[in-house]
Chains A and B, each alone.
Chain A
Amino acid sequence: MPIEVRVPTILRTYTGGSKAVETTGATVAEAIDNLEDAHTGIKERLVQDDQVRRFINVYVNDEDIRFSGGLKTELTDGDVVVILPAVAGGSA
């Protein structure tokens, strides 16, 4: 069951330049594992200590997964996963 994953500019080095790739998985964690099989190295940029990295946002059908179960968020056929790095910084 394909899940569409939208990849931000900075991670397109892992997807051969593609803006969107397809993967499978019953949860976001599984989808990221399957993404890693096809695009080695991408998982480390997304996940740390079994959590989405602090400055990476992952959305499933427009909802930030921090508010819907994190990496355990369930996926179904046709879901769209959007990955966006935080736009953040500051003098601290």
Chain B
Amino acid sequence: MLTIDRATYDAIVAHARRDHPDEACGVVAGAAGSDLPTRFVPMLNAARSPTFYEFDSTDLLALYREMDDRDEEPVVIYHSHTATQAYPSRTDIDLASEPGAHYVLVSTRECGSGAGPVDFRSYRIADEQVSEEEIRVVDSYTDADVAQPATKE
């Protein structure tokens, strides 16, 4: 299960709408081992494409260095699909390289850049296997979330 606070959820959706019809992408970092996404980091889609995303390689190195310095992990890796459903494509599965992350997909095919409905879903992708998981959106993280991180399954 993915536990995520409302402000971060809204920031991901806003980024997806803003970059529509191109795919938006980014991460939400969190303390290593916490499984709690706390630091929203929108990334530039170096592909600037409606059907593909890729973090710029220089930005990627800076991001991982920063997470290392802060003892963080990419708890959430998100991107949008702008004309298809919020389900991992073959490309998403082949290129997934963080088995510990929650892969969030947002579909803007109905809302576009506007205020309409978005589809927001979360998956684990490891060893070419996709499993969708529940999402719990909270107003803010409680001590219980911090003390007892959601299990990885």
Which residues of A are at the interface with B, using a C-beta cutoff of 8 A? 8-10, 55, 57, 59, 62, 64, 66, 82, 84-92
User: Known: A10-B97, A86-B95, A87-B77. Is A92-B52 also a contact (CB below 8 A)?
Assistant: yes
Which label, helix, strand, loop or mixed, suits the secondary structure of the B interface? mixed
Query: Does B140 have its Cβ within 8 Å of any Cβ on chain A?
Result: no
Is B91 in contact with A90, judged by CB distance below 8 angstroms? Answer: yes
- Contacts of A87 on B, CB cut-off 8 Å? 25, 27, 43, 54-55, 60, 74, 77, 97-98
User: Once bound together, how far apart are the Cα atoms of A84 and B98, in whole Å?
Assistant: 11
Q: 10 tightest A-B contacts by CB?
A: A92-B51, A90-B52, A85-B97, A88-B54, A89-B92, A91-B81, A87-B55, A91-B84, A57-B57, A64-B57
Count of residues in B whose CB is under 8 Å from the partner chain? 33
User: Once bound together, how far apart are the Cα atoms of A87 and B60, in whole Å?
Assistant: 8
* Supplied contacts A10-B98, A86-B55, 14 more A-B pairs, CB within 8 Å: A10-B99, A55-B95, A62-B61, A64-B57, A82-B61, A82-B64, A86-B57, A87-B25, A87-B54, A90-B23, A90-B79, A91-B23, A91-B81, A91-B84
Query: Does B58 have its Cβ within 8 Å of any Cβ on chain A?
Result: yes
